[in-house]
Amino acid sequence: MDGNQMAQSTSDDPRVPLLPIHRPQSFNSCIQSIFTLNNFFILLGPLLCGIICLCVDLNGGRDASTNMLAVLVWVFTWWLTEAVPMPITSMSLLFLFPLFGIADADDVAHSYMDDVITLVLGSFILALAVEHYNIHRRLALNITVLFCGDPLNPPFLLLGICATTAFVSMWMHNVAAAVMMMPVATGILQRFPTGPTQSNLVSKFCKAVVLGVIYSAAVGGMSTLTGTGVNLILVGMWKSYFPEADPISFNTWFFFGFPLAVLIFIALWGILCCLYCRKGSGEALSAYLNKAHLKRELELLGPMAFAEKMVLAVFSILIVLWMTRTITDDIPGWGTLFNGRAGDGTASVLMATLLFIIPNKKQPGEKLMDWNKCKKLPWNIILLLGAGFAIADGVRTSGLADVLSEALDFLENVPYLAIAPAVCLISGAITEFTSNNATTTLVVPLLIQIAQTMHLHPLLLMVPGAIGAQFSFLLPTGTPSNIVGFTTGHIEIKDMIKTGVPLKIAGTVVLSLLMPTLGAIVFKTNEPLKNSL
């Protein structure tokens, strides 16, 4: 009797139940399912919140500030432990703030949709279009062919792969850039032998490529507002705390972030070359990879179609609009045509809308994008941004900001050059164990109060704190980009630590030197604020 006959006879047997029987769980298994570490962390958040509300009295019974502190502890407990999914924790402020008397429901909801959020939405839709039409792969292969060299030059090939990843990460979220570029990089590495037959020189180059992709995605994302959620959280909090001060526009950040990213990128490339591109690696790799192989892959993609050209054109126009909305005080940008009412998010959503209007010339009536292609929009990041902005508003309006400022009076005489690297290193340490965005949301409000106490321009500490939160270079859990590289099997934790430690030190030094020099020019930190807390 074969398998089909046995299955038929079993199904005809009247003693066999039609539906599967769910046996009741034993008492011990029920107890074990209740008393789990995850459930403990779920209860820990509201428990700590209740203890603070009952036992803590901030500066003479400021109810709103005490309640704000209690809610912060609740939310950050869930964020740090991930007992509840991070997007759901981010939404919890929509009911916690009204219930604890911190803010009205409408006021909290406004934090979840402003110009910064629309900037993110529009740029993510454009990034999905780039991914859908495989434009990133074409770009990567073109640049890699350019840098490959003949004969093969491993350091320059590594430079091409890393530079491409950093460039892609400038215009879309760094995690998305790492996810898109890793298959391109591993596709090149697949030409090399694996297992016992793989030489030490080839193995080290594979490590360098994977590490280069994940770290270049992080470094490239520092240069623009759209590269990472951390920069957007910083800009949103600056706008929330100092609404009358000049906002940080896309091009303002770019004039500081791009030089910073270039210097850190050079340090990254130098570290990877010193550690992994040994003498003789070119000869070892030339046997398996040359420029002809890469050109063949590029030819397989064929010529650029109309849809690809249009997506590139829309993306290019968006970049120009971002860079020219505000230029200088003497040279106004196109934003003045609308009396300052248009923001970077305005341009972002406008260009994203065009993708749903322009035909792709593949099928009659089909556009470049449709809503089904947008189902991968990262709503978790959008909700986390909204929560960060809501927290910034709550800390300021509840009076908790004043309480923190009074508690930090002892820092008034500490020199800036001593505290700026410390801020960067502390943020960089925290971010190894929790998300970059959560770290920024946690430390930036505190840094604003420290800056006020030290009589410093707040951005002199806010920027190092936010950038330091992106230095998650040591552990796979530091950021999803690290996990993307770790799952390839080419790298181990010791490789990340060996590369990440000098890279983190280099980044801290560069940031500490650039902030009081270039940052003073770009952010005008030597000028008094138009308003203060």
Closest CA to 125 of 351, 343, 346: 351
Query: What distance in Å separates the CA atoms of residue 59 and residue 317, rounded to the nearest whole number?
Result: 52
**Residue 21: its pLDDT value, please?**
56
Q: Whole-model pTM?
A: 0.73
Integer angstrom CA distances of residue 511 from 235, 417, 418, 501, 517: 18, 11, 13, 15, 10
DSSP state of 490: S
Integer angstrom CA distances of residue 11 from 20, 23, 188, 391, 530: 12, 21, 51, 59, 79
pLDDT digits (tens, 9 = 90+) for 55-99: 887 766 557 888 998 998 999 888 878 889 888 998 999 999 999
Is residue 471 within 8 A of residue 260, CB to CB? The reply is no
- How many residues does the structure list for the chain? 533
Q: Which amino acid is at 390?
A: A
What are the residues whose beta carbons fall under 8 Å from the beta carbon of 124, sequence distance 6 or more? 172, 173, 176, 377, 378
Is residue 354 within 8 A of residue 321, CB to CB? The reply is no
Enumerate the H helices of 398-516 as residue ranges: 400-407, 416-430, 436-453, 459-468, 480-486, 493-514
Please write down the HEC assignment for all residues of 120-151. HHHHHHHHHHHHHCCHHHHHHHHHHHHHHCCC
Query: What distance in Å separates the CA atoms of residue 188 and residue 211, rounded to the nearest whole number?
Result: 14
**Residue 43: its pLDDT value, please?**
93
Quick one: tokens of 376?
A: 């991968």
Query: What distance in Å separates the CA atoms of residue 148 and residue 159, rounded to the nearest whole number?
Result: 9
Rounded to the nearest 10 degrees, the angle between the axes of helix 229-241 and helix 250-276 is 150
Of these ranges, 99-113, 315-329, 335-349, 379-393, the one predicted with the greatest mean pLDDT is: 99-113
Of these ranges, 106-115, 261-270, 450-459, 517-526, the one predicted with the greatest mean pLDDT is: 261-270
- CA-atom Rg of the chain in angstroms: 26
Query: What distance in Å separates the CA atoms of residue 268 and residue 275, rounded to the nearest whole number?
Result: 11
pLDDT above 70 for 195: no
Cα-Cα-Cα-Cα torsion 12, 16, 21, 25, nearest 10 degrees, comes to -150
Q: What φ, ψ does residue 13 adopt, rounded to 5°?
A: -70, 120
**Residue 7: its pLDDT value, please?**
47
**Residue 59: its pLDDT value, please?**
61
pLDDT digits (tens, 9 = 90+) for 229-276: 888 889 888 888 888 888 888 888 999 999 999 999 999 999 999 998
pLDDT digits (tens, 9 = 90+) for 204-241: 888 999 999 999 999 999 998 878 888 888 988 888 88
Averaged over 370-395, what is the pLDDT? 83
Query: What distance in Å separates the CA atoms of residue 443 and residue 96, rounded to the nearest whole number?
Result: 21
Query: What distance in Å separates the CA atoms of residue 242 and residue 296, rounded to the nearest whole number?
Result: 54
**Residue 476: its pLDDT value, please?**
77
Cα angle, residue 514 at apex, residues 508 and 516 outer, rounded to 5°: 110
Quick one: tokens of 286?
A: 């030339």
Is residue 181 within 8 A of residue 164, CB to CB? The reply is yes
Query: What distance in Å separates the CA atoms of residue 343 and residue 338, rounded to the nearest whole number?
Result: 10
Averaged over 166-172, what is the pLDDT? 85
pLDDT digits (tens, 9 = 90+) for 434-491: 678 778 887 888 888 888 888 889 999 999 999 999 998 887 767 778 877 877 778 8
Query: What distance in Å separates the CA atoms of residue 453 and residue 460, rounded to the nearest whole number?
Result: 13
Q: 359 forms bridges with which residues in the sheet?
A: 367
Query: What distance in Å separates the CA atoms of residue 215 and residue 207, rounded to the nearest whole number?
Result: 12
Q: Which amino acid is at 14?
A: P
151 cis-preceded (ω within 30 degrees of 0): yes
Is residue 155 within 8 A of residue 381, CB to CB? The reply is no
Per-residue pLDDT band for 358 (boundaries 50, 70, 90) equals very high
**Residue 9: its pLDDT value, please?**
47
Query: What distance in Å separates the CA atoms of residue 519 and residue 248, rounded to the nearest whole number?
Result: 12
Cα-Cα-Cα-Cα torsion 216, 218, 222, 228, nearest 10 degrees, comes to 140
**Residue 261: its pLDDT value, please?**
95
Closest CA to 463 of 248, 309, 284: 248
Helix and strand tally (H, E) in the chain? 26, 0
Average pLDDT score, the chain: 82
pLDDT above 80 for 285: no
Quick one: tokens of 112?
A: 């979840």
Is residue 120 within 8 A of residue 382, CB to CB? The reply is yes
pLDDT digits (tens, 9 = 90+) for 27-40: 666 676 677 888 89
Query: What distance in Å separates the CA atoms of residue 225 and residue 171, rounded to the nearest whole number?
Result: 9
Question: N- to C-terminal Cα distance for the chain?
Answer: 82
pLDDT above 90 for 292: no
Dihedral (CA of 354, 359, 363, 368) sign: negative
Closest CA to 161 of 207, 213, 198: 213
Q: 376 forms bridges with which residues in the sheet?
A: none
Closest CA to 291 of 420, 407, 142, 155: 142
pLDDT above 50 for 6: no
